[in-house]
Chains A and B, each alone.
Chain A
């Protein structure tokens, strides 16, 4: 893990989300599904964000401005700087035979990078509205659905599922694809195992998602 102060290249609006592009500096993009702690200007704690795109010389993060930290990140302008720590945690296992990407809402954030690294496999993405679904443009070949259709209705049999989305979606994916790799989310103060804040129950034991995950096997 490495922490550097990086410059903002641009903040681009995609539907209700913002794609924050920063210069890469000396920070490696890591594996898809790994995450970074982004300094949120004016806030005490950084925010965990998975890498959305590894552009040439850049790192890009898809952010949903739902609270004071994410809103501060989305308000950054080109040339401003922020501390970035990472890559952190365990990403997706890329050694899969028939990958299918499954994403829901802001949970599609790590999928564009994963899609590129896996050679542009099939993907199914679900959103709550047409406006949110504009973010599907980040995974150009994806099949897209909008509520009330649920993304789990689009998962064909026989694929190695790699998924990220809200907890109910991941639970539904787990039910139809027991061998899936699932990227979970939890509030984190540090992202590197120090705060014990991101505890989730794994096999009946509370474990730190930042150390054991965020990508976990469904079974």
Chain B
């Protein structure tokens, strides 16, 4: 499947872009409305882009009453991304969403670099969410940890159905003239090409550690980028920053992905699943 990275598309403003995806992932919804961080919120760097949006969203009440009914009209499967500041927030959000048949999966954002991280561990959040909903749960992890494989195993043991890899990592840009932070809040989340090798490594590590279904994302610009994530162990891929520069990216990446797989002798891109690991195995055995 081809998805968007959470927070990188507003399906209500750009419905045609959303319809080019196999599922639309909402911007992270929190218990209460959030205006987000003060401007300046984005900055381009030579290696990628920094954002410090700060989980701007209308809160779960307005999401359910005003946004979800309109999102349902799109005819695209919906994944709801949820975020909170303590374990109970996640449980409450999942419980509220559980009644809505139109929400086909929930992504637990436990890794936004632009808000204070929850005190509790990923595993505790997944356990609480698991008790609150029967829907598939995807834990979105940060690669900025000593051992993401251990975090993935903990999420798996806690009842997660899959992993979304990866969220952005914290970065800083200084204005070259003033040498002050370019973003209003100081630091931001780094995305784009610089994130790709970090994300690929996270996907490969978590695949080996858990064998779980993975949505791979981080710097995907082309179909070949997406195919690399499949080969590293992702079964789905998501496009983030590239959507900003190219709203036609879903259709383009899909065509390029199929072409890149065929050029390498596979019938479909799914045939390349975990290919990187098969190659590693053959090297070890010879």
Contact = CB atoms under 8 A, between A and B. Distances in A.
A104 B171 CA distance: 34
Given A192-B13, A194-B10, A199 B36 contact: yes
Nearest to A188: B42
B246 interface: yes
Contact of B244 (A83, A189, A199, A200): A189
Contacts of A68: 46
Interface residues of B, number: 31
Contacts of B7: 196
Contacts of A85: 247
A161 to B, nearest CB: 25
Q: Give the residue among B9, B44, B245 with the most A Cβ atoms within 10 A.
A: B245
A196 B13 contact: no
B51 interface: yes
Interface residues of A, number: 29
Contact of B246 (A3, A200, A211): A3
Interface string A165-197: 000000000000000000000111110111111
A157 interface: no
Interface of B: 7-10, 13-14, 17, 27, 35-36, 39-44, 46, 48-49, 51, 53, 56, 192-193, 241, 243-248
What are the 7 tightest A-B residue pairs by CB atom distance, in nearest-first order? A197-B42, A193-B13, A190-B244, A189-B244, A206-B35, A193-B10, A196-B53
Given A194-B9, A206-B56, 20 more contacts: A3-B247, A39-B245, A44-B245, A45-B244, A69-B44, A186-B39, A187-B41, A187-B43, A189-B49, A190-B243, A190-B244, A192-B14, A194-B10, A194-B13, A194-B244, A197-B51, A198-B41, A199-B36, A200-B39, A206-B35
Interface of A: 1, 3, 37, 39, 43-46, 68-69, 83, 85, 186-190, 192-200, 205-206, 211
7 contacts: A68-B46, A187-B41, A187-B43, A189-B44, A193-B13, A194-B244, A205-B35
